[in-house]
Structure 1
Amino acid sequence: MKHKVEIFYAILSETASPEENFQFQELMKQKDDLFLFNQIKKIWDEAREVKNFRSYDAKRAFYALSRKVEHKNQMKRRYLLVAASGIAAGIILMIGLFGLMGLPQMNQQQASVVFETETGNRSVIVLPDSSKVWLNAKTQIRYDADFGNTNRNVYLSGEGFFEVTHSSKPFIVNINDFKIQVYGTKFNVSAYPDDQLISTCLEEGKISIKRQGTKELFVEPGQLIDYNKQSLVFSLNTVNPEDYSGWRANKMYMNNEPLQNLAKKLERKYNISITFSPEKLGDEIHYSGIFSNESAEEVLDAIAIASGLEYTKNGNAYTVRSR
């Protein structure tokens, strides 16, 4: 008999053979397997509703569940999974079900669940409390295996858009020494380690942000709060929230930002590298605009025309310089 995961994939992807259908029916007679399949199917169906994500090989993403396992010690293990994008992303949401790939059962209080997106990929996950998180490229999110039981803490590095369900337990996004407390809401957080700003933009509901040693700051819908890691200063502005969550629809928004910021976004999105010659060029020239579905070279062409620049290409590496 095939492994149950192979059979579940065949059923969900509508490629099951008569033998696989028979084996599936046998599995469904077992209470644990029935419960497991229903959880997987729910996540699969959720992921199929997500629009504007690039499609990847769903089967490869399905089996990426066990792609990387880090053993901290015999009793404490941390499961690190690499998320794909598109419909396939939903498959990865099952990692909270530790029995899924034949993995050993774990003491949930000793485990963390980690999702990562690689450069050039995005994904969407559903947390155990049914909250949804869209992950931009090169992003990691982590939560304890007992999430939803004793707490609703997540740990973010990168960029994510959150739709948080209401609960008596507070939902907290942890970013180094920052805490964003959520009160049932929709908001975007950008907190890449190599970016100068940590930015949070609220679309609906209410959130607060607090850095260790500072007072709690509350954010209202339509507000963007930035924290400058260099100057250690917060700033609060009124904005259009969709400009900051537009990456979910393949859009990039720039508001008088240095070209170096745009370069970082392009590098994460398209898995390329961009350098400026001289290096200070990336900080000296600022740009405003919105890009939607353009290729990396189409974006660079537009920037070059508007800013009097030119670029050369060598494989996936681009060098931008003045004309």
Structure 2
Amino acid sequence: MQNTEPAERQWYLAAKALSSSLTSEEQMEWEAFTRNEKFRHDFEQLKKHWNVATTLPYADINKEADWEIVLGKIKAKKPTKQNFSIGKIWRVAAVITGFIALSIIAWNVGFKRNGQAIATMIQAPKGARTHVVLPDSSSVWLNAESKISFDQHFGKDNRDITLEGEAFFDVEKEAVPFQIHTADFDIEVLGTAFNVKAYHNDDVLSTTLIRGSLRISKENSSGTVDQVVLKPNEKVVLRGTPQERLAQSFALEKNIDGQAEADWKDGWLTVRGESLQDLCKKIERLYNVTVRFEDESLKSYHYTGRIQQLSLEQVLNALALTSPVMFNVNEKEVTLRLNKSTQSKYQ
């Protein structure tokens, strides 16, 4: 059970009730909350709006009206070479207040002009994650600062999606191929579950297959096409800057824990031998902050471990407990500096 403030807990459970994902323990807690007449009334009003919105065709969604109603009801809160293990973070986290964030989904719809197709965009902003069911009944989980877009023919003439960022897909099998286009590569699949990490400015892009099969292809700067067919628990990786990736070929990794690659959609923050510099990119997206290094040497520290649904302060405290890191948070800026008094413990 999350140790959030009562009001925040109410709306956290409200979101799960609307998506029919309450556990048996949460169901009992939810029933207790709904005995409050005022809260029950507010929830019923929100539920009416939710039910109406889910029956609208994509082109009829009123983004501004939806946004105002949801924000009026839910108080959204931010989600909250040496190697170091952060496995012991759980022992610390057990006595620290828990934290959960409510994801916000942003819809942007472009109407037909000059004969061009209608485009729908679904976005998870910084500090949020979201889940959506597409017109063909496929499910997509979007990580922070990610978005997908598709046209009005999706599910009929095509199943083409453009992705920026990271997403987990659980695709319904149909005769029409499901295709994902990123700035660096394309993916084609008939029915499968897989994770795609394609933040264009990151130095490492990847696609991991959970089940089924899929084909990934990219055109190199030389004009040749690099193509890989993935089997379950295999992963392709593309490294380098956006410019360097034009000449790079896919690297294939086998015997991957596919489920672990996508555990972010279940609220986990996972790192596997990642540098503090790369970890901070995740932190910036998850908590909508900017991280500044006062000491450049900190960027080379590496971490392994996984923690769930912690606030920004708790994650930073975990880093401070397992490496010589000190931090300061000033609104949306985090400053990291070397803790010289503990540095010798990690050399």
TM-score by shorter chain over 0.5: yes
Question: For residue 164 of structure 1, what is the amino acid of its counterpart?
Answer: V
Deviations 1:253-273 (A, max 9, x none): 111111111111111111122
How many angstroms apart in 2 are the aligned matches of 1:148 and 1:261? Answer: 36
Structure scoring higher RCO (CA < 8 A, sep ≥ 6) equals 2
Q: Secondary structure at the match of 1:266?
A: helix
Question: For residue 200 of structure 1, what is the amino acid of its counterpart?
Answer: T
Q: Indicate yes or no: 2:263 matched with 1:261.
A: no
Indicate the residue corresponding to 1:246 in structure 2.
263
1:1-323 to 2 correspondences below 5 Å: 14-15=44-45, 40=55, 59-60=69-70, 89=105, 110-212=117-219, 213-230=224-241, 232-237=248-253, 238-282=255-299, 284-323=300-339
Deviation at 1:41? 8.2
Question: For residue 308 of structure 2, what is the amino acid of its counterpart?
Answer: S
Contact conserved, 1:12 with 1:41, CA < 8 A, in 2? no
Contact conserved, 1:108 with 1:146, CA < 8 A, in 2? no
How many angstroms apart in 1 are the aligned matches of 2:238 and 2:198? Answer: 10
Question: For residue 277 of structure 1, what is the amino acid of its counterpart?
Answer: E
Question: For residue 228 of structure 2, what is the amino acid of its counterpart?
Answer: L
Structure 2, unmatched stretches of 5+, are 1-40, 59-65, 74-100, 340-347
Q: Single out whichever of 228-237 and 130-139 deviates more from structure 2.
A: 228-237
Contact conserved, 1:108 with 1:145, CA < 8 A, in 2? no
How many angstroms apart in 2 are the aligned matches of 1:14 and 1:129? Answer: 29
Question: For residue 266 of structure 1, what is the amino acid of its counterpart?
Answer: I
Deviation at 1:151? 1.2
How many angstroms apart in 2 are the aligned matches of 1:129 and 1:61? Answer: 29
How many angstroms apart in 2 are the aligned matches of 1:243 and 1:263? Answer: 19
Contact conserved, 2:104 with 2:124, CA < 8 A, in 1? no
Gap change, CA 1:57 and 1:176, over 3 Å in 2: closer
Tell me the number of residue pairs that the alignment of Structure 1 and Structure 2 aligns: 253
Q: Single out whichever of 159-168 and 237-246 deviates more from structure 2.
A: 237-246
Deviation at 1:39? 5.6
How many angstroms apart in 2 are the aligned matches of 1:115 and 1:187? Answer: 19
How many angstroms apart in 2 are the aligned matches of 1:37 and 1:109? Answer: 28
Deviation at 1:13? 5.6
Gap change, CA 1:151 and 1:107, over 3 Å in 2: farther
Gap change, CA 1:165 and 1:267, over 3 Å in 2: same
How many angstroms apart in 1 are the aligned matches of 2:252 and 2:262? Answer: 17
Structure 1, unmatched stretches of 5+, are 1-10, 25-35, 44-55, 64-84, 99-103
Gap change, CA 1:307 and 1:191, over 3 Å in 2: same
How many angstroms apart in 2 are the aligned matches of 1:173 and 1:314? Answer: 39
Q: Secondary structure at the match of 1:157?
A: strand
Deviation at 1:292? 1.1
Gap change, CA 1:322 and 1:221, over 3 Å in 2: same
Q: Secondary structure at the match of 2:162?
A: strand
Q: Secondary structure at the match of 1:14?
A: helix
Give the TM-score, by structure 2 length.
0.64
Q: Single out whichever of 234-243 and 177-186 deviates more from structure 2.
A: 234-243
Deviation at 1:59? 3.0
Contact conserved, 2:170 with 2:192, CA < 8 A, in 1? yes
Q: Percent identity?
A: 30
How many angstroms apart in 1 are the aligned matches of 2:328 and 2:274? Answer: 22
Contact conserved, 1:62 with 1:88, CA < 8 A, in 2? no
